[in-house]
Structure 1
Amino acid sequence: MKKKLIIGVLVLVGAFLAYQAYIFTTASEDNINPIYLIPDDAVFIIDTERPIDTWDEISNSNIWKHLQKNDYFSEVTESLNTLDQTFKERKELIEFIGERDILISVHVYKPKSYGLFYTVDIQKLSKLRFLQNSIAKLAGEGFEVTKRIYKDHEITELYNKKERETLYLSFVKNQLIASYTHVLIEKSIDQYQNPIIGRDVNYIEINKETPEDGFFKMFVQYKYLNKYLACFSNKMNSELLKTVEKSWLYSGFNIGLKESTTIQAEGFTNFDMTSESYLRALQKSGKGKRTIAKVAPKNTALYLSFAFDDFDTFYENFESIKEENEETFKAYNEQVKEVENMLDINLKDDVFSWIGSEIALLHINNVISKNKQDLAVVLTTKNIDKAREKLNFILAKIKEKTPLKFKQINYKGYDINFLDLKGFFKMLAGNLFAKMEKPYFTIIDDYVIFSNSPNTLKEIINTQLIGFTLASNQNYLDFNDQFDEKSSVFAYINTPYIYDELLTLTDSKTRNSIRKNKDYIVSFSQLGLQLISQGDFFENYLVVGYEDPVNVQKQRIDDKKLRAELLHKIAKDVDTVLTEETVFNLPEIYPNDLSASEFIKKYENGQVHIEVELKNGLKHGDFTEYYRNGNVKISGKFKKGAQVGTWKAYDKENEDLLFKKRF
């Protein structure tokens, strides 16, 4: 009897093994591509074919070791460390299963909430029923396991009693899918027979072009990027983001690490060829050399460059887009004609004719105004003499033909002009620079620089005079050397200087996290993204540089000290102690609006420090400076920026007259 039982068991085991051998060797394949299971609203998709080796390299990098100390990344760190420990403890199982293709995607499933979706290609192992039944047992005692059926697919729910969150798992053919967001699992099951991203020709072509020799590939789907950024901010509706969302399709990046401290990524970007944006014109206009770093202050937070073979080519391409889409550009064309007729000018001849091969937007961390919206647009020129002649011609026409105000001041040898003509700059550069409603401008070397604020121009002039520019910054030069010197689009972010702007853009929850983790954010001190026109695509290259946060903070302090020392050398010495020789050497003032009739500067406590009348941007009329206690310190008059008449200086406490001088 026992013999028969043993034989029976052996027969059953043999039959089971034969069945498994049949499955693994002769059964027809019924596999599905993992991308077919990614829900269509993915913002980011990460694809790795060797997750274990990749994790081993990343976990030993200086960047990851730094992040492990950070509370902001504590949950991710803890989870991945647990995963790492699991890999080591289950070595035999991992070796049996082998390296598997894993896709991770990010989705916004409701306003201001995003979730992650995972799919793992377990290939023929999916046919082993015991593997599916054992998933729940691996969870341990801290989990409550339930199951349910959704459209003929079993979903396993692992509820973590301690964390009070549920992991949802399911098998779809050869793929194991998982997420902490149940709607993503259900969306995946809904669409797997009619995949969207996986059959999107735009995604397919970018996936084909993206190299595969790095740690992993990452894809960005731009039409959902705004929704993702809105999870962290209520101010993500800029014209630039709207343009990107409507025009750009996908970017693919092959991501790797260099020397354990630099993240590098290369790949391609495609865009909607039917879009009416400047991007189409830019993509057809080649690439140009970046030189605006020569006038960009060292404290530039963002340097966004658009370059081309030459501006004439770009403008011709833009004109062809306008002709194809007359209705879309109707308002633009009407505004151009109105301004040209009113002033008797021709924008093509009087403006576009002298623009060179690069236009850049600068966001500056301005020491003068401490305004977090200090923006400047810089145009390179083909011939600066022609540019100056044409700009003076336009200014003269404005003064001659319109009642609009004409302003000009001289600041340290540079003329700052006020172009009081609403909408002019929008005609020059479209919605991309729409905030430049009534720009001021100045000329430095071969560059024409526009800004809404004269103080921004003064900051650029100051840093130019003392050589405090990006082009003089060795850290920037070393970082910039990693990119081609010519590009179509180039974005450079100086994280320590853009940090304050991040606070203004984010919601309160994100803002608190950013403040708490400032050192860890600014440690990624330089970020650069370059796009180069390449056929129907843009070739993209991304670099993120990591530095020890202690060194970043020290560099910031050293830069601030150096800037002050250099400015001191070119500034007039002003003695804070009242003496007959120095009392009437007044400090510079920085009015934000040169068309204003007065300027008032206050102390930190709100008490008035200086008040002076203005005319045409110059000090003109009564001037009074006060002590912090409210008593008058100095009084006198200006005429066209010069001190005139009798000036008086008073004692701080009893306001007795100390000095008097006739100008």
Structure 2
Amino acid sequence: MRRLIVTTLILLAATVFITVVYFKNLNPPGVRNNQVMQSIPDNAVAVFEFNNEKGFYDIFNGNQLLAAVVGKQKLSDLDTLRKLLMSSALSDQFFSGQNVFISVHPADNDDIGLLVTTTASVGFEPNSFNMIAAQSKGALSIAVNHNAFGLEYDILVKVINKHFYIIKKEDNIVVGSFSKALINQSALYKNDKSKTIFVSLPEQQNANSLANLYINYGQLSPLFDEFFKNKNTDIFKSFRLLPAVAALSINYKNDALMFNGLTSLNTHTYSYLNLFTRQQPVINHLKDMFPATTAYSICFAVSDPQKFEADLSQWHIKAGVNSEKGKLFDKIRQETGLFLKTEFEPLLSNEFAVVTTRYQEKFAIITVKDGSKLLPLMTNISTMVSDHIGQFNYEKLPFFLLGDAFSVFRKPYFMIVDNYLVLAASSSELVSYTDTYINRKFISKTDQYNQFDNLLAERSNVAFFINFKNTQAILKRDLKDPFYNAFENNHPGWKDFYGAAYQFTASDKNFYTNFCIKANNIDTAALTK
């Protein structure tokens, strides 16, 4: 009996030991990814994640799309580093199969910084870099620097004559960058464990994904400030003001980069786009009315216009502009006898958009249920300059009736064509749109747009679109010189893309998100000459 008890105790102890060791070393991918992403400095705008295995590199080998987005030189430098530093038998032992995170950070030198973060397998020691460099046949040389935050490995990649800096952080996290300033920032960064900057994909979706893209909308404005001379550019503005993060997985195509996933909103802060989470997805039709010269646009769709207006009123209260709004509508009632807000809201239909053309015209196009009923309302609050065109007598009406995205139209001209209310800053712009409308000069009549549109979701609540060729003159005016020169001269580069779209579809008080960027069609006629 005593022997049986002793044997049982030994087996029990062994079981406990094995269980403890197993769970101590068990590192679910989702948990590990969270640890790595929390170590990335919180000024990261975006993080691109992929698995360091041969299949990934084989799929994207020769693909020009990533080079066009990241920059051919930056991608070439990273690829050279990978081949020299990460492809040896020794580095494979520690880094093969590990997830790699490349994060994008604003810099102070009219550039962007890329930070590479990954994990090493058990047994890795930083001095392994010395052995890896020794196996490079002179292609790499390494120096070890001792500083306030520990050891830093300065690796000179001789073929490109650039230094790559590496540090090792806790939890076997390894971080590297060609930017000395960025690697120092990473070394000093202490994440607030109570605050989550990026939200990981669900484990199953991550396991089935070739690559993932994480976006921190709150850091888009600092990045745009790096890019643009004009700090008030309205390109992607509503998204830049959104307190949210996105986790998207890639869908691979030869001629397009497509991502889809979820944008998770910050429940403690609020923005204009939050209003659209309270709507149902809507089939998008208004985009068919955009001019062929469209440079970029943002289109909104609501399933319940009157609910949207009620939510917008609550938003104005939170934003502290409700008193100003009330005074304006009281003034209109006193001077015209109209209860404008009350009479306008039942006539509002499901879609409204702001469109900017290559000629820097800007239109608001708003679908209404009955243009003939809306016309007398608009006429009564306007000074007519022709039979069909008038100018509002009151400022900020589009902002109070439709929200932030329409604040650019302070005292616009208007016209009504069929069941569309069209606003612009001048009567000549409305004459231009009249020609577009009558002669059906719509972007939806072009083959390349329709091929692009076929890649997009049919339903959404918020949709941003940019046509890179039509936007070029605006970018030349507004981008800082180094970034515009890169746009103009890099090949592959952004000029090699036809367009990009970013769609939000309401889903459980957040947004299901689609992001698509498509290459220009290949000119087969030119290739045969």
Q: Pick the TM interval, shorter chain.
A: 0.7 to 0.9
Alignment equivalent of 1:391, drawn from 364, 375, 378: 378
Q: Whole-Å Cα distance in 1 between the matches of residues 525 and 462 of structure 2?
A: 27
Alignment equivalent of 2:168, drawn from 157, 163, 171: 171
Q: Whole-Å Cα distance in 2 between the matches of residues 273 and 462 of structure 1?
A: 45
Partner-residue secondary structure (3-state), 2:456: coil
Which residue matches 2:217?
222
User: 1:361-396: CA deviations, max 9, x gaps?
Assistant: 11123xxxxxx421000110122222223223434x
Bigger RCO (CA 8 Å, 6+ sep): 2
Which residue matches 2:122?
124
Alignment equivalent of 1:547, drawn from 499, 520, 527: 520
Give me the TM-score of the superposition, normalised by structure 1: 0.68
Please say if residues 46 and 216 of structure 1, whose CA atoms lie closer than 8 Å, have aligned partners that are also in contact: yes
Partner-residue secondary structure (3-state), 1:279: helix
Alpha-carbon RMSD: 3.4
Q: Whole-Å Cα distance in 1 between the matches of residues 514 and 207 of structure 2?
A: 14
Which residue matches 1:354?
347
Q: Whole-Å Cα distance in 2 between the matches of residues 429 and 44 of structure 1?
A: 30
Q: Whole-Å Cα distance in 2 between the matches of residues 452 and 462 of structure 1?
A: 17
Please say if residues 168 and 179 of structure 1, whose CA atoms lie closer than 8 Å, have aligned partners that are also in contact: yes
The amino acid of 2:460's aligned partner reads: S
Q: Is the counterpart of residue 301 in structure 1 residue 295 in structure 2?
A: yes
Partner-residue secondary structure (3-state), 2:394: coil
Percent of aligned positions with the same letter in both sequences? Answer: 17
- Judged with a 3 Å threshold, the aligned counterparts in structure 2 of structure 1 residues 331 and 132 are, in CA distance, closer, same or farther, namely same
Which residue matches 1:53?
55
Unaligned regions of 5+ residues in structure 1, if any? 1-24, 366-371, 396-405, 555-663
Unaligned regions of 5+ residues in structure 2, if any? 1-20
Which residue matches 2:284?
290
- Judged with a 3 Å threshold, the aligned counterparts in structure 2 of structure 1 residues 102 and 158 are, in CA distance, closer, same or farther, namely same
> 1:227-626 alignment to 2 at 5 Å?
227-238=222-233, 244-258=239-253, 260-323=254-317, 325=318, 327=320, 329-365=322-358, 372-395=359-382, 406-410=383-387, 415-517=388-490, 520-548=493-521, 550=523
Please say if residues 263 and 543 of structure 1, whose CA atoms lie closer than 8 Å, have aligned partners that are also in contact: yes
Which residue matches 1:195?
191
Q: Whole-Å Cα distance in 2 between the matches of residues 535 and 489 of structure 1?
A: 15
The amino acid of 1:508's aligned partner reads: D
The amino acid of 1:217's aligned partner reads: N
Partner-residue secondary structure (3-state), 2:199: helix
Please say if residues 199 and 247 of structure 2, whose CA atoms lie closer than 8 Å, have aligned partners that are also in contact: no
The amino acid of 2:342's aligned partner reads: D
Q: Whole-Å Cα distance in 2 between the matches of residues 27 and 208 of structure 1?
A: 18
Q: Is the counterpart of residue 146 in structure 1 residue 147 in structure 2?
A: no
Partner-residue secondary structure (3-state), 1:477: helix
Q: Whole-Å Cα distance in 1 between the matches of residues 150 and 354 of structure 2?
A: 52
Which residue matches 1:213?
208
Please say if residues 51 and 102 of structure 1, whose CA atoms lie closer than 8 Å, have aligned partners that are also in contact: no
The amino acid of 2:363's aligned partner reads: A
Q: How many residues align?
A: 500
Q: Whole-Å Cα distance in 2 between the matches of residues 380 and 162 of structure 1?
A: 59
- Judged with a 3 Å threshold, the aligned counterparts in structure 2 of structure 1 residues 112 and 79 are, in CA distance, closer, same or farther, namely closer
Please say if residues 505 and 513 of structure 2, whose CA atoms lie closer than 8 Å, have aligned partners that are also in contact: yes
Q: Whole-Å Cα distance in 2 between the matches of residues 109 and 322 of structure 1?
A: 35
The amino acid of 1:94's aligned partner reads: D
Q: CA deviation at 1:360?
A: 0.6
Q: Whole-Å Cα distance in 1 between the matches of residues 297 and 112 of structure 2?
A: 30
User: 1:137-160: CA deviations, max 9, x gaps?
Assistant: 356646653323345631112245
Please say if residues 398 and 410 of structure 2, whose CA atoms lie closer than 8 Å, have aligned partners that are also in contact: yes
Q: Which moved more, 1:431-440 or 1:215-224?
A: 431-440
User: 1:220-272: CA deviations, max 9, x gaps?
Assistant: 112221111222212133467665444322112212322x1121100111223
The amino acid of 1:540's aligned partner reads: T
Which residue matches 2:100?
102
Q: Which moved more, 1:136-145 or 1:111-120?
A: 136-145
Q: Whole-Å Cα distance in 2 between the matches of residues 223 and 552 of structure 1?
A: 44
The amino acid of 1:182's aligned partner reads: K
The amino acid of 1:234's aligned partner reads: K
Give me the TM-score of the superposition, normalised by structure 2: 0.83
- Judged with a 3 Å threshold, the aligned counterparts in structure 2 of structure 1 residues 207 and 154 are, in CA distance, closer, same or farther, namely farther
